[in-house]
Amino acid sequence: MNQLYVIKLSGERELFSEGKLRNALERAAVVPHLIDETVKEVKSQMKDGIPTTEIYRLAFSYLREREQGSAGRYGLRKAIMEMGPDGHPFENLVGEILKVQGFEVETSVLLQGKCVQHEVDVIAIKGDRKIMVECKFHNVQEVKSDIKVALYVQARFEDLKETHHFTEVWLVTNTKLSYDAIQYAKCAGMHAVGWSYPREGSLQHLIERAELHPITCLESVTKEEKRMWLDGGIITCKDIREKPNAFMIANIHERQHAIVMKEIDKLCGK
């Protein structure tokens, strides 16, 4: 294949990297032979100037036809965006991640600060640590959490920390953080988590390590059924396993139960 350029979300052109595609598939725990097949299929349909979003679509479509569990893991980023339009399911997901890490968690808590009242997305407590977590959810991949967001979060923390004895502040977003936001967070002592930041401990890694894939990863249920689950407080595939009434909440017929559970086992492991 001659050298081909791809168009990133930013509009920037760069050379197509087969290695990047393979790495993304490997992170999704796609088996080696299926990685080879997927890369071959994508390359066979590529043209110069193809958007990176189209490369994702081609790979996802190929995986979906062959192994739903792999498709669900590969589509994790898009699945998180489908948890919207509001950010409450995402806040609950972040709370569940922290519970797996041994924290006691509260979500959507109104607190009076030194100056004004604030709604804190997540409060996490373990030992002598008390963390104020600000969750920034975006429906589109192009939107970054920038320096204004980091400054806003730090200002809220400063207003609340003494009255409520917070020891740490975290900013967690489902998209990328701007360079300035990262630099400010490092300087201010804020723990920032984005889709691919930090290298160890990014949002993707935290979800996969905790095996807390959102129900929007599932291909065996409809969008309407997913929405009923989210509205009913069923956020992760783990919730479906652990809550006996999960299928009733989404009005999913009994004959579909085994199909959904099989996909969950492939997605998250038994």
pLDDT of the residue at 28: 84
Burial of 171 (0-12, 13-18, 19+ CB in 10 A): buried
CA pair distance 269, 263, nearest whole angstrom: 9
> Would you place residue 270 in the very low, low, confident or very high pLDDT band (cuts 50, 70, 90)?
low
Domain boundaries of the chain, sorted by first residue: 5-70, 88-210, 215-268
Which pLDDT belongs to residue 247? 96
pLDDT at 140 > cutoff 90: no
Mean pLDDT of 248-254: 95
**111-115 long-range contacts, Cβ below 8 Å, gap at least 24?**
111/160, 111/163, 111/164, 112/163, 113/156, 113/159, 113/160, 113/163, 114/159, 114/160, 114/162, 114/163, 115/159
What is the rounded average pLDDT of the residues 122-138? 98
Per-residue model confidence (pLDDT) at position 10:
78
Judge residue 15's burial from the number of C-beta atoms within 10 Å of its C-beta, 0-12 exposed, 13-18 middle, 19 or more buried. exposed
The 10s digit of each residue's pLDDT in 62-81 is: 998 888 778 888 889 999 99
pTM here is 0.86
Residues 31/70, Cβ–Cβ less than 8 Å: yes
The pLDDT of residue 261: 94
Q: For 246-259, what is the mean pLDDT?
A: 94
Range 177-187 average pLDDT: 98
Band of pLDDT at residue 100, cut at 50, 70 and 90: very high
Mean pLDDT for the chain overall: 94
- CA–CA dist 202, 176 (Å, integer): 10
Instruction: Identify the pLDDT of residue 9.
Output: 80
CA angle 130, 133, 139 (to 5 degrees): 165
User: Percentage of the chain surpassing pLDDT 70?
Assistant: 99
Whether 1 has a pLDDT exceeding 80, the answer reads: no
When comparing pLDDT for 236 and 67, which is higher?
236
The distance from CA 205 to its chain's CA centroid, rounded to whole angstroms, is 9
Helix or strand run (H / E) with residue 170: strand 168-173
Structure tokens at 248: 């009733």
Average pLDDT over residues 182-206: 95
Which of 3.40.50.720, 3.40.50.300, 3.40.190.10, 3.40.1350.10 is the CATH number of 88-210?
A: 3.40.1350.10
What local confidence, expressed as pLDDT, does residue 83 receive?
A: 95
Q: How confident is the model at residue 27 (pLDDT cuts 50, 70, 90)?
A: confident
Distance CA 137, CA 81 (A): 8
